[in-house]
Each structure stands twice: as C-alpha cells, then as structure tokens.
C-alpha cells in the first residue's frame, strides 16, 4: 500500500498486465486514464527491474486515446512540429514550455467551466437559457492566453536562431509591460539552458 499523499505504484509485468498495488487489483490502460482524469498520482514500474516506465506508459495511453473513435486531439501540424524538435537545440526548451502552457490552459479551463456554469445556470426545472454575454469574456481570455503562450515560444525560438529577423514591435495600443515579467523569466531559463549546452 502506498503511504498517504504518495503516488500509487503500478507494476507492469512481462505479460503486459498492470497491477495496482494500492488496490491490489489488475488494471488496464483505460483505468489509468481514468485515474489521471481524477487527479490520482501514480508511477508505473517494471515488475522485474523496478525501472520507472511511467513516461512510456502515459505515452501509450495518449496513443490509445488518439486512436479511439472521434477522440483525436493532437493536430497533424502540431505532431509534425513536435517531431521536428527532436534532436534540435530547441528540444531542451520544449518540455518546459509545454508543461507551463498546459498548466496555464488547465487554469483557464477551470475558470471557463465556472463561467459556463454561471452562463447556463440551473433553474427549478433544470437548465435555463444561456446568458451569452457571460460566455464571450471566457472565450476571449482563453484565446488571449493561447496568444501569449505562442508569443513567448516564438520569442524563445528567435533567441536560439540569431539570423532570424528581430521580433515585431508591439502594437501601439498594447502595453509591453504586460508580459515583461514572463519574458524575463523565459530569458533566464534560456540562459541557464545555454550555460548547460556550453558546459557540454
């Protein structure tokens, strides 16, 4: 049994069966996907060697979900860009960028859900007509977050590619200070990565 607040250990055997040591039951990839959606932490270990194989198992779950009926979520263009980054000097930056972007997206998603609850509401007889005036700000915030993430990533790519054209000047009505802190943090991360590359 896993200690409280510690990830549950899932053991994977040679016959590909997965065993949940927390519940003492065999589970499937679908069960693990459900655990992820519920926010339950777990690690997957090779039953024989004890090696942590959480990453390949989670990747396998994504592969299975992407091949399920009508559940495709990763656009072909994104997959091509991701593949192109393997072996590139930008590869070191991609995991951190994706992690931060997904965390920001999850935060916006939660806010959007709360807004949707406010929009639809529940009357005595069930669902009532939506208040579309409340929906627009949520969509705009989500689009703005996505735009900011893309700008940060594009700026980072320019720093790694010295011969590319300089970033475009901000629009007159946009305040550059709005992302100043984020850019400073990103520059520091890139500088740290560059120091690691230089030391290698």
The domain segmentation of the chain, as residue ranges, is: 8-66, 76-199
Q: How far apart are the C-alpha atoms of 31 and 11, rounded to whole Å?
A: 14
Rounded Cα–Cα distance for residues 9 and 23 (Å): 10
Q: What is the mean pLDDT of residues 40-69?
A: 94
- Quote the pLDDT of residue 137: 61
Angstrom distances, CA of residue 137 to CA of 111, 117, 134: 11, 14, 6
For the stretch 48-62, pLDDT in tens is 999 999 999 999 999
Q: Which pLDDT belongs to residue 164?
A: 46
- The highest-confidence range among 30-44, 110-124, 157-171, by mean pLDDT, is 30-44
């Amino acid at each position: 049994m896993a200690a409280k607040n510690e990830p549950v250990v899932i053991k994977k055997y040679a016959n590909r069966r997965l065993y949940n040591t927390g519940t003492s039951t065999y589970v499937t990839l679908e069960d693990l996907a459900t655990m992820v959606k519920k926010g339950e932490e777990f690690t997957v270990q090779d039953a024989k060697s004890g090696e942590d194989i959480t990453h390949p198992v989670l990747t396998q779950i994504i592969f299975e979900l992407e091949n399920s009926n009508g559940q495709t979520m990763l656009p072909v263009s994104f997959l091509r860009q991701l593949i192109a980054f393997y072996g590139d000097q930008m590869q070191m930056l991609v995991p951190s960028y994706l992690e931060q972007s997904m965390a920001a997206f999850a935060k916006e998603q939660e806010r959007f859900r709360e807004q949707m609850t406010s929009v639809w509401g529940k009357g005595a007889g069930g669902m009532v007509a939506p208040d579309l005036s409340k929906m627009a700000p949520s969509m705009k915030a989500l689009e703005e977050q996505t735009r900011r993430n893309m700008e940060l990533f594009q700026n980072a790519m320019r720093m790694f590619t010295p011969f590319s054209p300089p970033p475009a000047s901000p629009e007159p009505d946009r305040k550059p200070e709005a992302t100043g802190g984020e850019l400073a943090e990103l520059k520091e991360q890139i500088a740290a990565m560059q120091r690691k590359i230089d030391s290698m």
